[in-house]
Amino acid sequence: MEKNKRVLLGMSGGVDSSVSSLLLKEKGYEVIGTTLELYRGSSCCNSNTYLDAKNVCNQIGIDHITFDCKEAFKKYIIQDFIDCYSRCKTPNPCIECNKFMKFGFMYEKAKEMDCYYISTGHYAKTEFSEKYNRWVLKKSNNIKKDQSYVLWNIPKDLIEHIIFPLGDFTDKEEIRKIARENNLKVANKPDSEDICFIPDGDYSKFLENNSSLKPKSGNIVNRKGEVLGKHNGLYNYTIGQRKGLGISHQTPLFVLGFDVGKNEVIVGEEDELYTDEFEVEDVNLLLFDKIEEPLEVQVKTRYSTKQAKATIIESGENKIKVKLQEPRKSYNSWAISSFLYRWRYCSSEEEKFCKKA
């Protein structure tokens, strides 16, 4: 495909994607805004979303189109959400949505429309690395808002086709200022932080109304098997959880894991959460194709925690074993669709090379 300056921009009706459209147009790109219809009534798929996005496009003079993606969203994102909870794993649907919708479906539509690029309002960066002789995914300059952690599963051959216009900004207020200066009505629109298809935040209700998961009482036990209380369904708990256990104990208790066969939630004290070794599955290597020997890296066990030193080695097909220098709290060990464990190659360029656990 011949390189051109046509770009398909995903627009949610929020200030980030709206300002992205302005910035792209100022840089000479031929911008086409698009809003994906994902789930009727969700926080990112309603009449206000479409109207705000369309109004911005009309105001700055670019085309706006919508695509009906509700069936694909149900198949790849909502079903994965349900499947993970049914296996006592806590999903991150935003990651799956990025993979299948924003950087899957949207890129296929971009090619059909002769667009060389796709773009979103994510806080992240892409650039060509001479060191690795390939396009790489990097952290945003706005570390507090950095969203590269939810982009780990972008195919490496797609990175050169992605533009993140907000990657060089260091403060969200800069984005709102640009919107105000250009009289965009979305300038002060609040950020959406909830899962879009569960705007009220009631996961249990959603699961019970949309799947075969129903409340099933069982025991809450410690590692010795001693019964400490009762639970109302394994899907209502996640590893690392402290609140909502309904147990009176002399020290705070945390969810350590599950015994699905016995329908039990296993709890323990905080120090029992710590681990210094675990295995990572479903790895996406972005800087190179294979880890040839033990590699010193910096890891994060949650997106908001500090980096920690570790050594990684390949432990099987598409698997990596991580050995931390110092123990860290373990969280949900779901490994299939999580953002809780991320691995970043320790380099001066802060380039991402793999994620997942």
196 annotated active-site: yes
Whether 69 sits among the annotated catalytic residues: the reply is no
Q: What span, in angstroms and rounded, lies between the C-alpha atoms of 328 and 335?
A: 17
**Whole-Å CA distances, 205 to 75, 233, 272:** 19, 12, 30
Give the active site residue among 44, 69, 84, 196.
196
Q: Which of 44, 97, 115, 354 is catalytic?
A: 97
Q: Active-site residues: which are they?
A: 97, 196
